[in-house]
Structure 1
Amino acid sequence: MSAEQPVFAEERQQKILAMVNAQGRVRIAELVTLLKVSEPTIRKDLSALEEQRLVRRTHGGAIATHSQVERTIDARSDLHGAAKDMIAKACLQEIGPGDSIFLDSGTTVQRIADQLDQVHVNVLTNALGVASALADKPKVRHTLLGGSVRALGGTVVGPVAVETLSRFTVNTAFISASGFTEEGVSVADVAEAQVKQAVVERARRVVLALDSSKFGVQDFVTVCPLDRIDVVVTEAVYDDVRAICADHGVELKVV
């Protein structure tokens, strides 16, 4: 039995590593169920993988050490669609008549724009899809930032966009991200991150709208620490995420 145990451990760790690389993160609870071993065994496996710098341990699981491969906006738009619709609907409750808001280029935030037609608001955006969705809504005044068009994200980015943002102040910024850990909010692209960083600086309040698949994922570039986020709106949450939000004074809304 003792001679076979290392083989079993190695095979199990390879399965764990494959899951992390495919999903960006794994949770101990799901590994216990999937691999039919105890929680201490999974923790040992994750520690062994971390020692090899193949994964990084987090509260309740592990994340990939490499950044996520960025998908096109069309490829992302239908992922977790039901969750994104619920999150967008909840975000609408954060908007009041006469508000000035920023909507970024995330596919969850795009759904806020799709549903935003009940109140008179001023919208600032760097997202081509958001601007298009608001074009025929008479109650919504919207301004599209100038700058360089980034086709992969359907966004306007670059120094012109960042400089233009400095002229505006909004009540609430609705932003998205591809990663959320205790270290902060992250995305795959530097130019996208720079615009989001500028938005965070110009907003009185920042609402992070993201589905639960982003929790535990650390992407290429950090946008801001969690202390700069006021509210997180999501459809499902784990206890470790609740604890992280509480530690950083972030209001958590689960829909």
Structure 2
Amino acid sequence: MLTQPRIQEILRLLDAQQRVKASDLAALLLVSEETIRRDFKYLESIGKLRRIHGGAIAPRSSEEQPLQVRSRLQTKAKTQIATCAAGFVQEGMAIFLDTGTTTFAMAQALTRFSRLRIVTNSLDIAQLVAQQSDNHVVVTPGDVRRNDNALIGPHTLEFSRQFHYDIAFMGIGGIDLELGFMDYEEPEAVLRRTLARHCVRSVILADYGKFGHRTFINTLPFSAVTTLVTNLPPPGDYRQRMEQEHVDILYP
């Protein structure tokens, strides 16, 4: 659908103007406003725009895409990452899985185990593991964030810091050469800092596209993380920096 001339023209105008109106596009492209609204809905679902009343605007680079969009991106890479990371896991371990599409893939990889104690702040991960394996699942308390079914807030942090985990598997918003691991929102950043202090092995799961992607919040310096699992060899300058900070790097 992205190759359709109408869709391409909408994207061209959005790139040039940063904001477009459905009525103007309908008149220009000789279609109904309902057709344009359907185009907007499709383009929003793949992260190309954000719908607003009467039109659409370009997505902000500092804004994380919705979970339903991210879940359709880099699916092969996420599966590869999860398969690699599962090599750290042994029956009987206590594991934390935070919320995200790559940690959801990790949860799928862990369903082949049966005697893990898995703590998570993701309702989706909890449901998956509970329904598809015999592992023991513990869900943190917290406020439900509707766009991704994550549990966040002070109750989540208070509960999470009560335990000591063999491994904490964490997603991340971006990886910057100077600033380290970064996030879009404070709840994720604060939880990940907490988890890094309460585990034997802290594992960041990140596809290659996260390298060089600077987001809003400085979450963790490289030195605070024991392991990075990705799907391709990191760029040379990142690999050198992480080796200096004693970060283990794993990829297929």
Mark yes or no: TM-score above 0.5: yes
Structure-1-length-normalised TM-score: 0.72
Alignment match, 1:118: 112
Matched, 1:93 2:91: no
- 1:223 corresponds, among 202, 219, 222, to 219
Higher relative contact order (CA 8 A, sep 6+): 1
Alignment match, 1:245: 242
Distance 2:159 2:186 in 1: 18
For the Cα contact (< 8 Å) 1:101–1:124, is it kept in 2?
A: yes
Moved over 3 A (4+): none
Alignment match, 1:233: 229
Q: CA RMSD in A?
A: 1.5
Amino acid in the other structure paired with 2:142: G
Alignment match, 1:204: 200
Structure-2-length-normalised TM-score: 0.72
Distance 1:91 1:76 in 2: 20
Matching of residues 1-255 of structure 1 within 5 Å = 68-119=62-113, 120-182=115-177, 183-236=179-232, 237-255=234-252
Amino acid in the other structure paired with 2:240: A
Which secondary structure does the structure 2 equivalent of 1:135 belong to? helix
For the Cα contact (< 8 Å) 2:112–2:133, is it kept in 1?
A: no
Percent pairwise identity:
26
Distance 2:149 2:242 in 1: 30
Give 5+ residue unaligned stretches, structure 2. 1-14, 16-59
Distance 1:184 1:153 in 2: 25
Return the offset for 1:67. 5.6
Distance 2:84 2:137 in 1: 21
String of CA shifts for 1:92-121, please: whole Å, max 9, x gaps: 111001011111112111011112122210
Return the offset for 1:154. 2.4
For the Cα contact (< 8 Å) 1:124–1:145, is it kept in 2?
A: yes
Give 5+ residue unaligned stretches, structure 1. 1-17, 19-65
How many residue pairs were aligned?
A: 191
Distance 1:225 1:67 in 2: 22
Return the offset for 1:246. 0.9
Return the offset for 1:72. 1.2
Distance 2:74 2:133 in 1: 30
